[in-house]
Structure 1
Amino acid sequence: MHLRTQNWHEPVTLTEWLKRICSVLNLAILSVTCIIVVSEFRFDWCERLVGHYLSFTNDARPENGAVWDAGRHMVSALKSLDQMALARENAGRIVRTAKSFSDLAAQLGPGEWANLDKDRFRVLYLSLPLYLRRNVMDPVRLVWLLNGGATDRIFCEGRMGGMKIFFIDTQNRVIEQLDLDVQTLGNNGSQAVIPGTLDNEHEFFGRIYPASLFFTAVSRLPGDMRVDLILDTEDLLSEKGALDRVGVSNSAQDGFINLGFEFRHLGESRVVRVKAREWAVWQLTLVLKGES
């Protein structure tokens, strides 16, 4: 006789299986589970709870991982974009407000770029004295670059003591480059009006001549040499009073020599210092020595 071992809690028939499956406890658990799942899909309450928990504990968690790295990169990129936009706006303001090439070069920092349109370049170029325009660029070449359709854009870059100007064509190639020095651009004819007489200026010591003797010697020079001797007469013509004496500097700088013109007006003396080309001054000096 064989006996089959059976647990006391194991159902024997199919009816008992069904009764146990469809018990009140099982149906309640199934109903609650369905309600939780459906409400989650409908209201996303589980995600909201997790989100609130993470937000509440955010300050206590270490700032590491891919999410934090991505956030830092985004913040850094936004700051860089803001700095680039601010630098571009500042460079544009400098170009608009600059009164001359020397003013523009002085305001642009080393390595700082600015877009210089053709009309603005013309204004700054025409503000230069005639003799400096030829030094900056050959006028014929400049006419072709600005009016011949060869130039698409003009950029300027600041550097120590000056700036560079690049002429770019439609294929983004540099077709002309200028390297301008602030000191050279500053040689724009009249440099200073100084109260007092030529005797107070050491650079003119021993080379001070009566105005009549000076201009008599100037009249003996060829016409093209006289043009280079007194490059800009605007400040001299606007000065009031009688011209008494003229001094010639003892030193040259960048191909120029200072001339000092002493004016007397209402009992006061003023010296107007102007630039003259070195080679023309040496020729004038030879004539002055012959006249003395």
Structure 2
Amino acid sequence: MLVLVLVISELRFDWMEQTLGSFLVSTNATRPESGAIWEIGKQTRTAHQAIEKIVTDRRSSYREAESATSFKQIAATIQPEEWLLVPPDLFRKLYLELPPEVSKEIIPSFELLELINNREWERTYFEKDGDGLNIYMLDKDNRVLKRLPISPDLLYMMAYSDVAFGERLENFPIFESRIYPGKLFFHVLKNVMPEVRDGVIRRPEHLLRVPGNIVRVGISDEAISGFIQIGFEIDSGAQQMVILLRGHEWAVWRMRSLLESEKQP
């Protein structure tokens, strides 16, 4: 009879489920988190905590990032395990100052335009990643809209793009064993097809702005994004410097082949 009463009351009032539910709620904090659902939740909380740490931990370098003049400066400023905040407007400015062949490797222009016009992008964080960088574009809720990895090679191209240095070509390992007399370089350049000449020196105005004579030319052996670095060592009388430009890969390889054949006795 007692069993019958218990069964009827359970069917009518669900008291067993309610009691069990209350017990599970009261012991929830002490039970181990396991299983796929728990693991997904744990990863989500961990990621959110990491982003929250980025947002709250701005450190002194945040002030420096506001006045950054190049990605190179940001890479030099940021320390391991440190995050730098860069406002979207400043990111756009620095991005537009990069050569097209470099900027498109960070993020294609149309993708950046889409991010801007969606009006979700609120802040940008830079993170040191070995010899490279990670860039995180976040919305107002700190969700990652885009992660942009910057390789050491890409940072190198940012650092050495169309810039004069008080150096000699020997100080650049990329030109080792590939340094040619200036007279020989321009003699060969004069005799190639116009499209090759234009592909080798795409921006001759950079060389015209610098006083002095080009005494030697170095050609890198590495191609990045279809371009090869060329170094022009200039003697102005008062000092020596190197101007670094980028030429189209196919044109530079053709030029180098002709230079090597001219060097043969």
Structure-2-length-normalised TM-score = 0.59
2:97 to 100, 106, 127: 127
Q: For 1:220, give the aligned amino acid.
A: M
For structure 1, list consecutive stretches of 5 or more residues without a partner in the other structure: 1-83
Q: Is the 8 A contact 1:244 1:262 kept in 2?
A: yes
Partners in 1 of 2:142 and 2:167 — Cα distance? 52
Partners in 2 of 1:238 and 1:158 — Cα distance? 35
2:212 to 241, 252, 264: 241
Q: For 2:58, give the aligned amino acid.
A: R
| SS of aligned partner of 1:146 | helix
Please tell me whether residue 178 in structure 1 is matched to residue 148 in structure 2.
yes
| SS of aligned partner of 1:111 | coil
Write the deviation string for residues 55-98 of structure 1: whole angstroms up to 9, x where unpaired: xxxxxxxxxxxxxxxxxxxxxxxxxxxxx999524132121132
Query: What residue in structure 2 maps to residue 92 of structure 1?
Result: 62
Partners in 1 of 2:74 and 2:256 — Cα distance? 37
Query: What residue in structure 1 maps to residue 106 of structure 2?
Result: 136
Compare CA radii of gyration and give the structure with the larger one.
1
Q: For 1:203, give the aligned amino acid.
A: E
Q: Is the 8 A contact 2:137 2:144 kept in 1?
A: yes
2:130 to 160, 179, 191: 160
Partners in 2 of 1:144 and 1:85 — Cα distance? 24
Query: C-alpha displacement at 1:128, in angstroms?
Result: 1.8
Query: C-alpha displacement at 1:119, in angstroms?
Result: 0.8
| SS of aligned partner of 2:58 | helix
Query: C-alpha displacement at 1:282, in angstroms?
Result: 0.8
Matches within 5 A, 1:1-292: 87-170=57-140, 172-187=142-157, 188-190=160-162, 193-194=165-166, 203-204=176-177, 207-208=180-181, 210=183, 211-217=185-191, 220=193, 222=195, 226-227=198-199, 229-230=200-201, 233=204, 235-249=206-220, 251-252=221-222, 257-266=228-237, 270-277=240-247, 278-288=249-259
How large is the Cα RMSD of the aligned pairs?
Answer: 3.9
**Post-superposition, which runs of at least 4 consecutive aligned residues in structure 1 deviate over 4 A?**
84-87, 194-198, 231-235, 253-258, 287-292
Query: C-alpha displacement at 1:142, in angstroms?
Result: 0.9
Query: C-alpha displacement at 1:290, in angstroms?
Result: 7.0
Q: What is the percentage of aligned positions where both structures have the same residue?
A: 27
Query: C-alpha displacement at 1:240, in angstroms?
Result: 0.4
Q: For 2:131, give the aligned amino acid.
A: G
Q: Is the 8 A contact 2:169 2:218 kept in 1?
A: no
| SS of aligned partner of 2:121 | coil
| SS of aligned partner of 1:186 | helix
Structure-1-length-normalised TM-score = 0.54
